[in-house]
Structure 1
């Protein structure tokens, strides 16, 4: 795709006509039409104005699309969700840039694991994933982004409104996952777990529309099962659920509230997991699904309130790598802020040390 085609695509994504874009950047519409059709070159000044108006970084217009995304778009253009597709495209470019200059950022990447062909294999994959993360069967999986980064998967969260839950792209080293921060925390964590599954089985690209609602696609259903098993490990949940149900003066709803807080799960996911493990019947599953945690529960049961992957969030290891590039003056402040996706503002960046006199002399001599 050449620059003109990219301008046309970005303009269409923003919902602008040629006339509207041309007016906004002070260009004649016929000149813009020629640029988009390849009949006229675009100057650097014009491209800066176009990229600013269309809210795309300059390199988006001139760099090649990451291979995994290009392959996906060529095969499934009709399924693309523009917001998450565009954000993933930008994230992949930024992450490739940072990873290439920060060797320690992706220091570990597991060999690809087999796709689970049954629900039992999906459960086993979750056990393997917890082992790779260094978790015991009794530990809740908390701080998902930091844990996944240990395996080379960088998880970002951006509020994209209604649409796809998440997407994942493999990098040359590691991978990038984007979770739609529009969803509530339990669903964000479930989406992140599902994307970790895609990463572990080395799916080059995935775009997931609905987590826990994809029975028509066997692999997606099995990765949904993997995600639930990862967040709600079977043996530990069985033991704790029995214990919570045995507490005096507490109901099934109370046990559900405790479980959701302990494991960082939403009620719909918990209800389905309890059904899978035979811990509740269908009628009781609906009771769990409809349970809501109240402020009184938080105080009386001493619960922990989490807001993981709240938008905008970037992996801590990635942010540290970007700040290191900024301190070494490998990137400018503007570039660093762009790489950090709005999670920092300029005053939040570290102060740079002034150059020593001998360094200044070396540069100017």
Structure 2
């Protein structure tokens, strides 16, 4: 894809007409039309102005990026928002660079699974995924962001505002998921569980506008079921729900609050899981969806407050790899801070390894 086609693509995603973009950057509409069709070239100054107006980095227009990002662009079918598009483009480029310098960043990758053909298949896939992550059959999937890095999926939580919940790109080895950090923690964890499903079945790229199941896309619905089953194992849910409901003073609301904290999920996810395993009727599930956990609940019930995937959140192995590159002077301080997405400043970086006198004389001779 040429520069002109990339400009047309970015303009379309920004919702601008040729006339609007041309006026904003000081070009005639006919000149911009020729640029987009490849009849006319674009100067460096014009491209900088266009990139600024479309809120893209200049390299997005001129560099195809690693094969993974090229595959993602080819398969996204127009569903990506600009925010998720930009975040994935930058992070995949960064991860590709780090992997080339430190191949051991991705230590293992599971064999690809067949996409689930039914909800029962989705439950079975969740059971296999639970084992893959080192979880017991009835153990809640806590610290999911840490566990998935062990099987090659690197999750990044970035503030993305309104729009897609998450997106995933497969690499030659492993993969990258970007989670919208502006979601609440339960939704962030659900989004990552859903993306982990896409990773396991080896979709080349996906962007989820919402994590709720839809009739329009059967695979998305089954991976939603996979995500809920991964986070809330049925056997544990049945056991603990019976224990909590046996408490004399606890209402259905109290039980739901305890369950949401225990599994670190939002109430909509909990209600959906309870109904799909036949533990609640629709009326009860709807009442749970309306529940909001209060500060008093946290104190009185001694609940655990989850902070997983708070933005900006980077995979620990990725952070360690970049610090290693900095220590060995493979990257500058500025480059290291950029790769770490601003979560470090120069003062927070480690001391570099001292250079011996013999090495200095070797360089100077």
TM-score of the two chains, using structure 1 as the length reference: 0.88
SS at match of 1:179: strand
1:8 Cα deviation (Å)? 6.4
1:181 Cα deviation (Å)? 1.3
- C-alpha RMSD over aligned residues: 2.9
Q: Report Cα offsets for 1:293-350 as digits up to 9, x if no partner.
A: 1111111211100121111111111111111111111111222122112222232222
Match of 2:207 in 1: 207
Match of 1:276 in 2: 276
Q: Report Cα offsets for 1:144-174 as digits up to 9, x if no partner.
A: 2111101100011111111111111100110
Partners of 2:357 and 2:39 lie apart in 1 by 50
Segment of structure 1 superposing worse, 71-80 or 216-225: 71-80
Segment of structure 1 superposing worse, 51-60 or 276-285: 51-60
Match of 1:17 in 2: 21
1:223 Cα deviation (Å)? 0.3
Residues 126 and 230 in structure 1, CA contact (< 8 A), matched pair in contact too:
yes
Residues 197 and 226 in structure 1, CA contact (< 8 A), matched pair in contact too:
yes
Partners of 2:68 and 2:204 lie apart in 1 by 6
Matches within 5 A, 1:3-42: 3=3, 5-6=5-6, 17-18=21-22, 20-21=24-25, 37=38, 39-40=40-41, 42=43
Match of 1:326 in 2: 326
Q: Report Cα offsets for 1:190-239 as digits up to 9, x if no partner.
A: 00000000001111111111111323211110000000000000101110
Partners of 2:256 and 2:243 lie apart in 1 by 12
Q: Report Cα offsets for 1:245-272 as digits up to 9, x if no partner.
A: 1012111111111111011110000001
Segment of structure 1 superposing worse, 344-353 or 197-206: 344-353
SS at match of 2:179: strand
Residues 146 and 317 in structure 1, CA contact (< 8 A), matched pair in contact too:
no
Match of 2:364 in 1: 364
Partners of 1:210 and 1:354 lie apart in 2 by 50
Match of 2:292 in 1: 292
Segment of structure 1 superposing worse, 332-341 or 49-58: 49-58
Flag structure 1 segments of 5+ consecutive residues without an equivalent.
Answer: none
SS at match of 1:172: coil
Partners of 2:357 and 2:239 lie apart in 1 by 66
Q: 2:68 matched to 1:87?
A: no
Residues 22 and 32 in structure 1, CA contact (< 8 A), matched pair in contact too:
no
Matches within 5 A, 1:172-191: 172-191=172-191
Residues 31 and 40 in structure 1, CA contact (< 8 A), matched pair in contact too:
no
Match of 2:195 in 1: 195
SS at match of 2:362: helix
Partners of 1:213 and 1:338 lie apart in 2 by 36
Q: Report Cα offsets for 1:281-301 as digits up to 9, x if no partner.
A: 111111211111111111121
SS at match of 2:157: strand
